[in-house]
Structure 1
Amino acid sequence: MADFAEPVRPDVSVILPCAGHGTRFGAAYPKELHCLEPGSAVVDKCLDPVLALAERGLTVRIVVVLGPHKLATAEYLHRYRKRYQLVFVYQEEETAELPGALRAALPLCTGPTLLVLADQVLHGPAARHSAGELLDHLGSHDWAVVAARVEDPVLLQAEGALRVEDRATASRVSDAAEKPADPAGFNAAWAMVGVVGKHRWRLPEVCDRSAPSPLIGAPVTWVDGFDNGTSPGSWS
């Protein structure tokens, strides 16, 4: 009988949802594969902060959530097979939207878990090391977020809105709501979420409009902004 080595336990798991149909995007190819510059697609820019984790020497497992229409995305991500533990899981159509993607991915995650959106490009000098700071925060907190300041109420209504208080020692989330009908009082939006292993099963609560957000009290790592384009010309 052949001997099979136990897989290396990852230091951190990353959920990368890629199962959406991108209806508003309106292109003949997946949104995350939109080319931003020669040799670099949107998903590459989204994974840049995760690459910084691997450069620290950490073992990173990326759990990619796909639909049957996203085989091109799986093929494209093959380029990362030597940098990360790549795991692919299908999201059933009846569990559409982000909470369904998270529930599909969570059984394949271990340890601290980061939610990285495959169409969300972060801006500013802090962006590349944002995932590392997120992971560092999880050494002393159950939850942490990467966020950008947002004043436009229309944008806040379309995002995971936060009210962030800047304190002497750190910025903290004092309120959070997923796509709030009334954005008054919110001043930021999250771009990435991290949670310690023992609470990772609660990740879908981040997107649940009917329950209190687990992000309240979470420390914030700031980036200058982010784009999650709704058309091929959306990203700057």
Structure 2
Amino acid sequence: MNIVVAAAGKGTRFGARYPKELHLLSTGHAVIDRVLAPWLTAVAGEEFSARVIIVGDESRGATLTHVTGRYPTVPVGLCLQRADAHNPNVNVLAAARRWIDRGVVVYLLADQILTAKDAVFVDSVKQVQNGGIAILAAGIPSSARHTEGCLELDAANDHVVTHEEKPPADDERFNHAWAALVANANQLDRLIGGFHRQHDNPWRTSKVLHVQGYVNINTIDDLRAVR
């Protein structure tokens, strides 16, 4: 299981000299700990082995050191982000793509924390072991649309119609955010293409798994929302 963590944001709204994902929560954990822990904990008793690929710039050495110390038995590496495309998700996944040739890819953002039962995480990985893409989606208020990668779901809320990066708050179609993406490695190029707006097929044919506990850490106030 290749856990790809996008950690290229500058976090300028925090005013700190260290990356946003290293901010401490009231629980005493860093943000990045809470991003990774649900996945690593859920699969600990399964047949998967996990490694973490942090994608960012040279400033993420501290993040690499922290994650390596926190999870000493998990292989962790830092991959420098490319800047070939306008969409940052394309740049992150294209950079990580060079180091992934098999298995399952879990794509996370370093400032998005989600909680769910272990079975949700395990099921998402098992669903794509033989191919395909699964999306973990969280409901969001309209006021948050302009800060999220958003999804329009069908009437049954179990498949994606389309997706949009930070749509206007008054666009009622988009009422869910993607909290994580899970794909078989053989689908990674299709997923990158979907972000690249070449087509939406990887999203429209993807199964949606709903998660309730989700916080996007954009400001200092968001840190207080994490329990």
Q: Secondary structure at the match of 1:70?
A: helix
Residue equivalent to 1:226: 214
Using the size of structure 1 for normalisation, the TM-score is: 0.81
How far is 1:129 from its partner? 4.3
Amino acid at match of 2:109: L
Residue equivalent to 1:68: 58
Residue equivalent to 2:114: 122
Q: Secondary structure at the match of 1:215?
A: helix
2:36 maps to 1:47? yes
Residue equivalent to 1:179: 166
Which of 30, 44, 47 pairs up with 2:19?
Answer: 30
8 A Cα contact 1:16 1:62, kept in partner: yes
Q: Secondary structure at the match of 1:234?
A: helix
Q: Structure 1 unaligned segments of length 5 or more: list them.
A: 1-11
Q: Who wins on radius of gyration, i.e. which is larger?
A: 1
Using the size of structure 2 for normalisation, the TM-score is: 0.84
How far is 1:33 from its partner? 0.5
Identity %: 29
CA distance in 2, matches of 1:25, 1:213: 37
8 A Cα contact 1:147 1:223, kept in partner: yes
Query: Are residues 94 and 139 of structure 1, via their aligned partners in 2, closer, same or farther at CA, if it must alter by over 3 Å?
Result: closer
Residue equivalent to 2:133: 143
Which of 84, 88, 95 pairs up with 1:104?
Answer: 95
Once the two structures are overlaid, the 10-residue window that deviates more, 156-165 or 107-116, is: 156-165
How far is 1:190 from its partner? 0.6
Higher helix residue share: 2
8 A Cα contact 2:64 2:77, kept in partner: no
CA distance in 2, matches of 1:213, 1:19: 27
Query: Are residues 220 and 21 of structure 1, via their aligned partners in 2, closer, same or farther at CA, if it must alter by over 3 Å?
Result: same
8 A Cα contact 1:164 1:174, kept in partner: yes
Residue equivalent to 1:205: 193
Residues 184-219 of structure 1, C-alpha deviations (whole Å, 9 max, x = no match): 322211100011121112333343356435211211
Runs of 4+ in 1 over 4 A off after TM superposition: 92-96
Residues 79-128 of structure 1, C-alpha deviations (whole Å, 9 max, x = no match): 245432212211246668332121111111232211011111114xx255
Residues 19-38 of structure 1, C-alpha deviations (whole Å, 9 max, x = no match): 22222332222110111135
Amino acid at match of 2:183: V
8 A Cα contact 2:112 2:214, kept in partner: yes
Residues 22-67 of structure 1, C-alpha deviations (whole Å, 9 max, x = no match): 2233222211011113541110100122212233242112111131
CA distance in 2, matches of 1:155, 1:38: 24
Query: Are residues 220 and 127 of structure 1, via their aligned partners in 2, closer, same or farther at CA, if it must alter by over 3 Å?
Result: same
Amino acid at match of 1:43: I
8 A Cα contact 2:162 2:200, kept in partner: no
Residue equivalent to 2:67: 77
- Give the aligned length: 220
Residue equivalent to 1:9: none
Residues 209-236 of structure 1, C-alpha deviations (whole Å, 9 max, x = no match): 5643521121111111422222223121
8 A Cα contact 1:32 1:43, kept in partner: yes
Amino acid at match of 1:30: P
2:220 maps to 1:216? no
Over the aligned positions, Cα root-mean-square deviation in angstroms equals 2.5
Residue equivalent to 2:105: 113
